Amino acid sequence: MVAGMNEPMLPKAEGVGYHDFLSALHEEILFDWYLEIGSRKGDSFAPVRSKTIAVDPYFRLRGNVMNAKRMLLLCQMTSDEFFEEDILKSLSARLSFSFLDGMHLFEYLLRDFMNAEANSHPDGVIVLHDCCPYTPEMTTRDLDNLPKGDWTGDVWKMLPILRTHRPDLRIEVLDAAPTGLVVVSGLNPKNRVLKKKYDQIVEEFTPLTLADYGVARFAGEVEFQSTAAVMAQGFPVFRPVAQDPASLTQPRRLST
């Protein structure tokens, strides 16, 4: 837990680092199509073995990002442009796993989520990064004054938004260091609730700060699940959409 004197505390994600968690996931499970929004250097998609689409308006790739992939499509554009161009349709690609790590303002991530879900397999999984800030300062929307170190922006708002407006989704919050991973499954590509309520949600949530929402309230709503346990169990939530379920190893038993 992180706190100043007499300030409410935010839980800090101190489990397995998110790059290590994602690498282990891709080593264990082969998906059909993997989509990544926000890639920068390519570190989070380099270990992927599945057919990959990476979207970033400003790539700074380094190293061997191709590795063992059969296919890699790099789209140097914003995620809104990517979805508008309907590139997924032209590839007949239904998404098995999407990792959303682009612009850290909640309305961008909300659109990325809506668009990714609409193009997903119903057994697919969408993972949101940076929804668990560990200080209020890192939640700023002021792009001209970003904090040094981790900046989550206000994508923490996705947790209350999804829980309120999409109670049908299954949401798990993993303690992946440093700012958590939100794993969303039970997808319904035909669901239009968020699209219909988008303007209302943006109007309500844009002016809201973490202090307005309540730091203690948010902290109470984040119940971390252990990344180490999910890894030891063989990433159960991702298994239904594995490309070749027969190739999956048996989950390892937890020793504790």
Ligand X SMILES: C[S@@+](CC[C@H](N)C(=O)[O-])C[C@H]1O[C@@H](n2cnc3c(N)ncnc32)[C@H](O)[C@@H]1O
CB 39 to ligand X: min, Å: 5
Among 30, 44, 65, 201, indicate the residue that binds ligand X (CB under 6 A): 44
What stretches of 3-143 show up as alpha helix (H) in DSSP? 18-28, 79-84, 87-90, 106-118
**195 with 246: CB under 8 angstroms?**
no
Q: Considering beta carbons, is residue 80 or 221 the nearer one to ligand X? A: 80
| Stretch of 53-61, 169-177, 189-197, 213-221 contacting ligand X, by CB under 6 A | 53-61
Least distance from C-beta 77 to ligand X, angstroms? Answer: 8
Q: Is 103 an interacting residue with respect to ligand X (CB under 6 A)?
A: yes
Q: Strand 120-129's sheet: what is its strand order?
A: 72-75, 51-55, 33-37, 95-100, 120-129, 181-185, 170-174, 224-225
Which lies closer to ligand X via its Cβ, residue 119 or residue 215? 119
Enumerate residues 6+ apart whose C-beta is below 8 A from 144.
none
Q: Is 101 in the site for ligand X (CB under 6 A)?
A: yes
CB-side exposure of 236: number of CA atoms within 13 Å?
Answer: 11
Q: Which stretch binds ligand X (CB under 6 A): 85-93, 101-109, 155-163, 215-223?
A: 101-109
Asked if 85 is part of the footprint of ligand X (rule: CB under 6 A), the reply reads: no
Instruction: Please answer whether residues 52 and 71 qualify as being in contact, where contact means their C-beta atoms are separated by less than 8 angstroms.
Output: yes
Rule CB under 6 A: is residue 55 a binding residue for ligand X?
Answer: yes
The reply to whether 98 sits near ligand X by the rule CB under 6 A is no
Q: Residue from 10, 37, 201, 222 that binds ligand X (CB under 6 A)?
A: 37
Write phi, then psi, for 210 (nearest 5 degrees): -65, -35
Running DSSP on this structure, what letter comes out for residue 15?
Answer: S
Site residues (CB under 6 A) for ligand X?
37-41, 43-44, 55-58, 78-79, 101-103, 108
